[in-house]
Amino acid sequence: MATNLASLFKRALLPKRWRAFARDESGVTAIEFGLLALPFFSIIGAILETSLVFLSGQILDSAVQDTGRLVRTGQMQSATIQTFRANVCDRLYGLFDCTKLFVDVQVLTTFNAATIKPPVDFNCKTQTECEWNRNEIVTPGKTSNIMVAQVYYRWPVVLNFGGLSLANLATGERVLGAASVFKNEPF
C-alpha cells in the first residue's frame, strides 16, 4: 500500500514529460566529454611540450658536440662568436632562435678546471634579473689546448598549470644547456 501511495504521489507531482526527461540518457556522453576534455587535453599538451623540450635539449647537445669537434680539429681557428653561433645554428633544424643562443668557448689549464655553470641566476624574479649575467667568449685555442664549449638557450615554456611547468626561470622559460670539454688535436 505504501509503495502504491508513493507511486501515485510521484505521478501526481511529476507530469509525464518530466518523468521522461528524468529517465533520458541521450546527452550523457556529451556531458562526460565536457567534464573530461580539459584534463585529457591538458595531459596530452603536457606530454607534447615535455617531449619537445627534451628533443630540443638533445639537438642542442648534439650541435655543440659537432661544433666542438670543428674547434678540436683546428677547422675553426679564426672563429668568432658569430661564426661559432652560426655553426651551432646550422645543426639546430630551425627549432631555436639562434640570435638568443649564449656561446662560451674558453681555454682551460687542466680538465679539472672545467666549470660548467649556466650564465643566469635561477633565483631571479624579474625579466631584467633573468638576463645572461656574463659575457660571451669564443677563444678557439691552439694545438693541444684543453677547451670547454658551452651553449645555453632560454626555451619558452607554453603550458603552466598553476606553477607546475617545465620552466626554471621566473620569466616562464627553461634554460637548456649543452657543454663539451675536450683537448684540441695537434693540428
Which pLDDT score is estimated for 152?
Answer: 98
Spatial separation of the C-alpha atoms in residues 152 and 175, rounded to whole Å: 7
**Positions in the chain short of pLDDT 70:** 1-24
Spatial separation of the C-alpha atoms in residues 29 and 16, rounded to whole Å: 24
Cα–Cα distances in Å, from 15 out to 2, 7, 115, 117, 155?
A: 21, 13, 80, 75, 61
CA-nearest of 87, 114, 85, 81 to 182 is 114
Cβ count within 10 A of residue 50: 13
Spatial separation of the C-alpha atoms in residues 104 and 93, rounded to whole Å: 21
Which pairs count as long-range contacts for 15-23, CB under 8 Å and 24+ apart, including other chains?
Answer: none
Which pLDDT score is estimated for 43?
Answer: 92
Could you report the per-residue pLDDT of 138-157, keeping only the tens digit for each?
A: 999 999 999 999 999 999 99
Which pLDDT score is estimated for 27?
Answer: 80
Q: What's the pTM value of the predicted model, to 2 decimals?
A: 0.82
